[in-house]
Structure 1
C-alpha cells in the first residue's frame, strides 16, 4: 500500500493508477483461468440487467419471483450461490449497462470495478480523513493485512456488491464532514443498491444538513422514477411483497446463520431445545429491533449535540445495525473498515514496534488463509464476527463521547 505524501496531483494520480493496475491484475487473471471466479453473486446482477435490457423474455417485476428468475441465473452459472434478486428496482436499472457485454467480459469488468473501488476507497480515506503521516502508514499496513482475510477475498471471489456500497458510504462521510449538500447523492445511490444505508439519512438530519437531506430525497425519487418505464408504477410494490418483507423479518435466508445477536439467540434456543422456542425467538427479535432503534436515535442525538464526529457516528451506526439486525452476514464486516481509523489514531507506539507487529500479523493472515479448519471453527462454531461486533459496540458505548480530536481540529 502507498502513503500519498506528495502534493502534486499528477504524481498522486499516477500512483493511484499503478495501485489499481497491480491490485486488479491478480483477480483478472483468476477470472481468465478459474471459470467460476466472481460468478456467484454477479450472475444475479447480470440476469437482472438482461431483464431490464429486454434480452430475455421475462418482465421486470418478475425478477422478484423465483420461478421466473432462477432459470436465468442457472443458465449463466450452474454452481452454488445466490439465486434471488433481493435488491430494490433501482439497482436492476443501475446494473443494466453490464448486459451490453458478454457474460464473461462483464464478469471481468465487474471484478476490475470492485478492486478499483476498494483502492479508491483507501485513497479517499487517507486523502480526506487522515492528516498525519504516521496514521496514514498505520492504516496502509492495516489495510494490506485486512485484504488477506476472507472478508475481502470473498467480496471478489463471489462478485459481491458490498465494496461499491462501502465506497459510496465513505464518500458520504467525507462530504458530510465538510458539510456539503452533495453528501445526499452517494447516500441515495447506496440506498438504491441496498436498503440498509437508508438509516444513515438520520445522520443528515442530526447534522442539520437540510439541503443534503433534500438532495437525498430528490435523488431517491429520481432513481425511482427511472424504474417506472421498466417496472411500472407497481414496481416498488412487487419489491415490498416479495423480498423486503422477508428481509425485515429476518427470514430471507437461514436466520440461524446470522452473525448478529438474533442469529446467536436462535442457535442457543435450538441447542437447548427450550419450550415455546418460537415465542422466545419472536420476542427476542422484537427486543433487538427496539434496541436498534434506541441505539440509532441516541447516536444521532449525541452527533447532533457535537459529542462525536462524523466518522465516529458512522462506525457506531454501522456496528449497531450489524449487531441488532435480523440477518447479518460475515462479509458485512467490510463496512467496519473505517473503524480502524479511530483505533489507529490513538495508538501511541513506535514505528519499529508497529512494523514488527504488522509483519507478524501479516504472516498470521497468510497462515490463516491456508488452514480451512481454523476458519470453520472460529467463524462457524464460535461466531467470531458476532463476538467482535458485540465487543466493538460495548467499547464504543463505554468510551468517552467528548468531541473527537479529529473533529475538534477541523473546527479550529
Structure 2
C-alpha cells in the first residue's frame, strides 16, 4: 500500500512539475532579485516607518542624528527624507520598520507579489473573462514587475485596491468601494485620479463619498503628527508652491553611501543598488512639470473617452487607468502595472498581432521612455478596433460586428 501511495505521489509530482514548474521560475527570479538588491524606494518608506517609531517627522532626513536612517538615491544628503506619500502611508509602514531591513524588504516583496496574484484572482472573479496561464507568465517576466521588485514599489498594492473600488462599485457596494479608493489614495496619491473616470460616468454621489472617506483617512493621523508634518507633505507634492524643506547644517551620512553600485549602510546588509531595470521615465517630456502633466493627462483622458464612448464599462475603466501614469510627472516603469488589467482583458480577444501590441508596453526597454505612451495608444487603438470592422479584423480574433466577446457597446 505504501509503495502504491509513493508511486502515485511521484506521478502527481512529475505531472505538476511538467505542467506548472515554468510558472514558478519568474517567482524564483523575483525572490532572488529581492534578496540581492537594496530596494531603495522601499528603503525610503521603511525609514519613514522607522521615523514614526522614533516619533519623528517622516519627511525630514534624520540620518545626521541616527545613522540607521540612511536612504540612498531618494534622500542621500538632502534635508528631506525622499518620502512623497501621504502621512497615513508612513504609519502603515511602521510595522515593517520593527524588523531589520533585510527581513522587512523580503516581507514587502511577498506582499506585492501576493497582490499580483490577487489582481489576477479578482479579474477572473469579477471581470467576466477568463485568464490564460501564459498571459500571467508574460506578466511575471515583464519589466514593470521586475522593476517593482528591484526598487520595492507599492504600485501593485494600490492597483489591487483600485480594482476592488471598481468591482465593488459595480456590485452596488458603494461605501466599500469608496473606502478602498480612499485607502489607495492615502498610500499613494495617484489613484485619486480614478475620480475623473467617475466624473465621466456622472457618478457624482460616489465622487462625493470617496472624497469624504479620503479626507477622513488623510486627516486621521493629524493628532499624532501635527500640522508641520502635513505642511512638509504638501511641500513634497507641490515644491513650487510651498517652501522646500531646509537644514541649517550639512547632513552627515557617517561615511555611508553607494560605492561601485553597492550600498554600504550602518544597519547593513551591503547589497547591490540595482540592475537598471528601471532606467527610464514614463513621462519624459513633463517629468519636471506637475501642471503640464495634469493638463496633458486631462486632454488625453478626454480623447480616450471619445474613442471609447461605445465600449463597455470594463474596457473604459481598464483603458482609463492607463492614462494615470501620464498624470504623474515622476512616474517610472514600475507604474506600468496599471496597464495589466487592460492587457489581461484583451489577451483572449486579440490575434497574434494584437498580442504583440498589448505586450509591447510591458517589454519595451525602459530607457526608450515610450512605454506609457504606447500603453495609452493601445487603449485607443483597441477601442477603435472594436468599432471599425477593418481594424478589428486586423487585430481581433472575433470580427468586430460580433459583439459577444469584445469591448463594444454596453
| Residues 88, 192 of structure 1: 8 Å contact kept | yes
Partner of 1:230: 224
Q: Deviations over 1:182-206 (max 9, x none)?
A: 2111111111111111111233344
Q: Which residue of 2 aligns with 1:339?
A: 342
Within 5 Å, give how 1:7-406 maps onto structure 2.
27-28=30-31, 34=35, 36-37=36-37, 39-54=39-54, 59-60=56-57, 63-65=58-60, 68-69=61-62, 75=68, 80=73, 84-131=82-129, 135-137=130-132, 140-181=133-174, 182-209=176-203, 212-240=206-234, 242-246=235-239, 258-260=281-283, 262-263=285-286, 289-297=294-302, 307-323=310-326, 325-347=328-350, 378-380=365-367, 382-386=368-372, 388-389=374-375, 391-392=377-378, 394-395=380-381, 398-399=384-385
Asked if 2 retains the 8 angstrom alpha-carbon contact of 1:99 and 1:106, the reply is yes
Is the CA contact 1:262–1:324 (under 8 Å) kept in the aligned structure 2?
A: no
Range with greater deviation from structure 2 (119-128 or 170-179): 170-179
Q: 1: distance between equivalents of 2:128 and 2:342?
A: 13
Higher gyration radius (CA): 2
Q: What SS does structure 1 have at the residue aligned with 2:227?
A: coil
Q: Structure 1 residues 323 and 209 mapped into 2: Cα distance closer, same or farther (>3 Å)?
A: closer
- On the 8 A contact 1:202/1:300 being kept in 2, the answer is no
Once the two structures are overlaid, the 10-residue window that deviates more, 83-92 or 309-318, is: 309-318
Find the counterpart in structure 1 of residue 14 from structure 2. Answer: none
After superposition, the C-alpha distances for 1:306-340 in whole angstroms (9 at most, x for unaligned) are: 73333322233223332464333122111110111
Contact 2:62 2:69 in 1 (8 A): no
Deviations 1:262-302 (A, max 9, x none): 25xx8xxxxxxxxxxxxxx98xx866643422343566789
Q: Residues 261 and 72 from structure 1, CA distance in 2 versus in 1: closer, same or farther, beyond 3 angstroms? A: same
Whole-angstrom CA distance in 2 between matches of 1:324 and 1:260: 9
In the alignment, structure 1 segments of 5+ residues that lack a partner are 1-17, 267-280, 369-374
For structure 2, the 5+ residue unaligned runs are 1-20, 76-80, 245-278, 389-399
**Cα distance in 2, alignment partners of residues 150 and 291 from structure 1:** 25
SS in 2 for 1:85: coil
RMSD over equivalenced CA pairs, Å = 4.4
Q: Distance in 1 between matches of 2:207 and 2:373?
A: 34
How many correspondences in the alignment?
334
Larger helix proportion, structure 1 or 2?
Answer: 1
Normalized against structure 2, the TM-score is what? 0.66
Alpha-carbon separation, structure 2, partners of 1:206 and 1:290? 16
Contact 1:48–1:95, Cα closer than 8 Å, also in 2: yes
| 1:19 to 1:226, Cα distance in 2 relative to 1, 3 A | farther
Q: Is the 8 A contact 2:339 2:375 kept in 1?
A: no
